[in-house]
């Protein structure tokens, strides 16, 4: 029987509910339980696919091609359980589906209302395909009291009544702020947040209290008294040095034990050996490297959340600290070689990530050229691979006007829009002027690698599966001139039409990939491309 843990947040946003859900799931998993985590997002977008990274951070893509919230990345990295399209739902998706059914006449003339139609849809989502699970953790996005979140709160209130206390638990994440002038922590915001939640019909079973100072025993007792919970159910959550130490910290404070006590369950102590090893590797490196990430969304690091973590994982694999320097690609648009050198010469590796649009593209191309000419390890991801192909076309293949149709009309479309491609279900098509949302090549696709290539050695395989998110492709018609210029197409789609990986055999480490390997990297299983890239950066550091 699946048991449901509903996670809400109060006082302020950005308290780390997603990280909390991932950490709790990892602890339950370490005790031998089967877990899955789901995210309820109250906003009206159908999914985050059309949202600016500055609005919502990165878009996390699942194997089955869903564009989802970045919290699903935390879920996967901490549990190793691959997320699915059914693990993220938004108000927009709920209302879209209900209105579609209403237009078809599926409701047989009934008045369509928030209760029961919207809340029933949310409840069905929470309980879908859970028969093989021990715990389903559901994170409610936003903050208690938000208007758009009310249907989700009402839905989980109904689920408590329907499933019973023995099958449901409410965990409320709050803030206990430290007032420096008074020299003390204040519990009143938590009390008000819980009062707001109980006013909506939900009494929390466990309180996770975020704080920057240790929570005194007297304050725990005070919170317990005024919030109507056991003192042991008030769990302090101090700021951590690393997100990867959070599961160990929560276990030490008794979070997982309190959850099991609520459900009347007993289990062996969790096996946290791999988390001990992860924290040890992260906190006790044996060296360090500096990686320059040349992108266009560097003003918000959540825009590259999975990329950031994958670089950290690569550092763990090599037991080194990875210092990431976020560099705005527009800095290099002025074609000033001295400025480019000033920023990139200290780097032990250069990474050009994915992105959309023309802004910053010439700066990314200049970064590729610097890495190629100076022999600095280079890693291009999605748009980064496309920029590497355009740089190679212009500077080593003699195609001076090489460009991408994404940036406007061009006589040399080395990169162009893709309007059809093969999937496991058959031919997928999109109109060039069609909708933007959900119309890219999304999700996991196979690639075939050359047996004697650098990437086949890194992967230890000649067939791989990686996740994609893009609507433009490198034009395979330019393969011959690019390869004559030294840029080898070392990975292709199974039908041989779409370039997936490029590399330069005459370079210390120069690889570009059309997919997003960062989405499949885990702290306990770093992605081989990131482990290899950081290993190359370590060698570069020794030469400098």
- For 381-419, the pLDDT digits (tens) are 999 999 999 999 999 999 999 999 888 888 998 998 866
- Confidence band of 491 (pLDDT split at 50, 70, 90): very high
Q: For residue 354, what pLDDT is reported? A: 87
CATH topology for 3-277 is Rossmann fold (3.40.50)
Residue 438, pLDDT > 70, answer no
What integer is the mean pLDDT of 182-210? 95
Radius of gyration for the chain, computed over Cα atoms and rounded to the nearest angstrom:
25
DSSP code string of 358-415: STTHHHHHHHHHHHHHHT--EEEETHHHHHHHHHHHHHTS--TTEEEGGGS--SEEEE
Query: Residue 389 in contact with residue 477, Cβ under 8 Å?
Result: no
Q: Which of 67, 209, 518, 527 is catalytic?
A: 518
Q: For residue 431, what pLDDT is reported? A: 58
Q: For residue 426, what pLDDT is reported? A: 58
Q: How many residues does the structure list for the chain? A: 544
Query: Residue 513 in contact with residue 69, Cβ under 8 Å?
Result: no
What integer is the mean pLDDT of 85-113? 94
Q: For residue 55, what pLDDT is reported? A: 76
What integer is the mean pLDDT of 297-314? 89
Residue 513, C-beta contacts closer than 8 angstroms, at least 6 positions apart: 380, 381, 382, 385, 466, 491, 500, 501, 529
Q: For residue 296, what pLDDT is reported? A: 84
**CA-to-CA distance for 50 and 44, rounded, in angstroms?**
12
Q: For residue 424, what pLDDT is reported? A: 57
Residue 214, C-beta contacts closer than 8 angstroms, at least 6 positions apart: 236, 238
Residue 91, pLDDT > 80, answer yes
Per-domain boundaries in the chain: 3-277, 286-417+472-543
Assess whether 454 carries a catalytic annotation. no
Give the dihedral sign, CA 214/219/225/226: negative
Query: Model-level pTM?
Result: 0.93
What integer is the mean pLDDT of 304-311? 95
Q: For residue 421, what pLDDT is reported? A: 44
Residue whose C-alpha is closest to residue 439's, from 424, 419, 425 = 419
The CB density around residue 76, as the number of other CB atoms within 10 Å, is 23
Residue 493, pLDDT > 80, answer yes
Residue 422, pLDDT > 60, answer no
Residue 183, pLDDT > 90, answer no
- The residue whose two tokens read 């090549």 is 441
Name the strand (E) or helix (H) holding 137.
strand 135-140
**CA-to-CA distance for 456 and 453, rounded, in angstroms?**
5
Q: Phi and psi for 345 in degrees, rounded to 5?
A: -60, -35
Residue 259, pLDDT > 70, answer yes
The CB density around residue 448, as the number of other CB atoms within 10 Å, is 18
Query: Residue 4 in contact with residue 163, Cβ under 8 Å?
Result: yes
CA–CA distances in Å: residue 111 to residues 105, 116, 122, 246: 11, 10, 18, 47
What integer is the mean pLDDT of 335-363? 87
- The residue whose two tokens read 């460009």 is 403
- Confidence band of 429 (pLDDT split at 50, 70, 90): low
Q: For residue 435, what pLDDT is reported? A: 54
Q: Phi and psi for 101 in degrees, rounded to 5?
A: -65, -40
Tens of pLDDT along 1-31? 899 999 999 988 888 899 999 999 999 999 9
Tens of pLDDT along 229-239? 999 999 999 99
**CA-to-CA distance for 310 and 263, rounded, in angstroms?**
35
Q: Work out the mean pLDDT of the chain and round it to a whole number.
A: 92
Vertex 148, ends 142 and 151: CA angle to 5°? 100
> Taking every pair of C-alpha atoms in the chain, what is the biggest distance, in angstroms?
75
428 conformational bin, left if phi > 0, alpha if psi -120 to 50, beta if neither: beta
Please give the residue that has the higher pLDDT: either 117 or 303.
117
- The residue whose two tokens read 């021990």 is 134
Residue 195, pLDDT > 50, answer yes
Assess whether 516 carries a catalytic annotation. yes
The CB density around residue 264, as the number of other CB atoms within 10 Å, is 8
Residue whose C-alpha is closest to residue 351's, from 337, 336, 364 = 364
End-to-end CA distance of the chain: 58
Q: Which of 209, 382, 470, 527 is catalytic?
A: 382
Q: Which of 117, 282, 348, 516 is catalytic?
A: 516
- Dig out the tokens for 3 from the structure: 């048991």
Span 286-417+472-543 CATH architecture: 3-Layer(aba) Sandwich (3.40)
What integer is the mean pLDDT of 159-171? 97
Query: How much of the chain exceeds pLDDT 90, in percent?
Result: 77
Residue 423, pLDDT > 70, answer no
Q: Which of 120-134, 186-200, 293-307 has the lowest mean pLDDT?
A: 293-307
Give the dihedral sign, CA 145/147/153/157: positive
The CB density around residue 480, as the number of other CB atoms within 10 Å, is 11
Residue 428, pLDDT > 60, answer no
Q: Which residues in 364-374 are b (16+ Cβ under 10 Å) and which e? A: bbbbbbbbbee
- Dig out the tokens for 424 from the structure: 């496991």
Please give the residue that has the higher pLDDT: either 103 or 50.
103
Whether 3-277 shares its CATH topology with 286-417+472-543 is answered yes
Please give the residue that has the higher pLDDT: either 181 or 278.
278
Name the strand (E) or helix (H) holding 342.
helix 337-344
Residue whose C-alpha is closest to residue 262's, from 126, 356, 135, 386 = 135
What integer is the mean pLDDT of 346-357? 92
Query: Residue 307 in contact with residue 524, Cβ under 8 Å?
Result: no
């Amino acid at each position: 029987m699946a048991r449901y843990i509903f996670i809400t947040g109060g006082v302020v946003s950005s308290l780390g509910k997603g990280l909390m859900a991932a950490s709790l799931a990892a602890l339950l998993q370490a005790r031998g339980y089967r877990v899955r985590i789901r995210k309820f997002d109250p906003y009206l977008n159908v999914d985050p696919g059309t949202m600016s990274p500055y609005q919502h951070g990165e878009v996390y893509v699942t194997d089955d091609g869903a564009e989802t919230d970045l919290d699903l990345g935390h879920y996967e990295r901490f549990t190793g359980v691959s997320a699915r399209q059914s693990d993220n739902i938004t108000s927009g998706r709920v209302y879209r589906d209900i209105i579609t059914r209403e237009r078809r006449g599926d409701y047989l003339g009934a008045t369509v209302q928030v209760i029961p139609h919207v809340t029933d849809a949310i409840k069905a989502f929470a309980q879908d395909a859970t028969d093989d699970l021990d715990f389903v953790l559901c994170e409610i996005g936003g903050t208690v009291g938000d208007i758009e979140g009310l249907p989700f709160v009402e839905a989980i209130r109904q689920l408590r009544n329907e499933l019973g206390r023995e099958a449901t638990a409410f965990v409320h994440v709050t803030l206990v702020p430290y007032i420096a002038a008074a020299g003390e922590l204040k519990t009143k915001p938590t009390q008000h947040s819980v009062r707001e939640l109980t006013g909506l019909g939900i009494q929390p079973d466990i309180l996770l209290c975020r704080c920057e100072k240790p929570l005194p025993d007297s304050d725990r007792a005070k919170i317990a008294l005024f919030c109507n919970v056991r003192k042991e159910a008030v769990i302090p959550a101090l700021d951590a040095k690393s997100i990867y130490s959070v599961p160990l910290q929560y276990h030490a404070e008794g979070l997982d034990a309190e959850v099991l006590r609520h459900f009347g369950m007993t289990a062996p102590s969790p096996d946290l050996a791999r988390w001990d090893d992860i924290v040890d590797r992260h906190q006790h490196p044996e060296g360090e490297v500096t990686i320059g990430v040349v992108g266009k969304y560097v003003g918000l690091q959540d825009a590259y959340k999975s990329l950031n973590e994958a670089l950290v994982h690569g550092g763990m694999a090599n037991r080194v600290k990875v210092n990431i320097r976020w560099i705005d690609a527009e800095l290099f648009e002025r074609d000033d070689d001295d400025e480019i050198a000033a920023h990139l010469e200290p780097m032990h590796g250069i990474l050009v990530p994915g992105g959309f649009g023309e802004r910053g593209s010439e700066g990314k191309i200049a970064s590729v050229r610097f890495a190629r000419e100076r022999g600095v390890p280079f890693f291009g991801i999605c748009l980064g691979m496309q920029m590497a192909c355009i740089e190679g076309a212009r500077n080593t293949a003699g195609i001076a006007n090489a460009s991408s149709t994404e940036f406007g009309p061009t006589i040399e479309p080395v990169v162009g829009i893709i309007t059809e491609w093969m999937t496991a279900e058959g031919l997928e098509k999109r109109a060039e002027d069609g909708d933007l949302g959900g119309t890219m090549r999304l999700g996991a696709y196979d690639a075939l690698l050359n047996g004697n290539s650098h990437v086949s050695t890194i992967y230890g395989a000649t067939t791989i599966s990686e996740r994609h998110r893009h609507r433009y492709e490198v034009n395979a018609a330019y393969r011959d001139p690019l390869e004559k210029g030294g840029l080898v197409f070392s990975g292709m789609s199974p039908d041989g039409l779409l370039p997936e990986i490029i590399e330069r055999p005459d370079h210390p480490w120069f690889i570009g990939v059309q997919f997003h390997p960062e989405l499949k990297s885990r702290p306990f299983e770093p992605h081989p491309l990131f482990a290899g890239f950081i290993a190359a950066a370590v060698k570069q550091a020794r030469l400098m």
